[in-house]
Amino acid sequence: MSVNIKRIFDEMPDYYVKGKVSKDTVYYFSIGSDKYTVKISPDSVAVEPGKTVDNADVILKTRA
């Protein structure tokens, strides 16, 4: 696992600004061997390692 990629996802909740989104949205990131699910709502953000949903609203797959 890339330390820089892990750091980005670990720190992501620190930069979230409540109220900037109007609906729940799920993102799935597959960056090389690093995989994360990010769940955003108007009030919160949750970053989960791995693919934790069957269907995401946005999917990004790329090589590291």
pLDDT for 1 beyond 60 = no
The enclosing H or E element of 58 equals strand 58-62
pLDDT at 64: 76
Portion of the chain with pLDDT greater than 90, in percent: 92
Separation between Cα atoms, residue 64 and residue 44, nearest integer Å: 27
How many angstroms separate the most distant Cα atoms in the chain? 33
Q: What is the pLDDT of residues 8-36, one digit of tens each?
A: 999 999 999 999 999 999 999 999 999 99
41 in Cβ contact with 57 (< 8 Å): no
Determine the topology of domain 3-62 in CATH.
Maltose phosphorylase, domain 3 (2.60.420)
pLDDT for 40 beyond 70 = yes
Q: What are the domain boundaries of the chain?
A: 3-62
Separation between Cα atoms, residue 38 and residue 47, nearest integer Å: 5
When the pLDDT of each residue in the chain is averaged and rounded to a whole number, the result is: 94
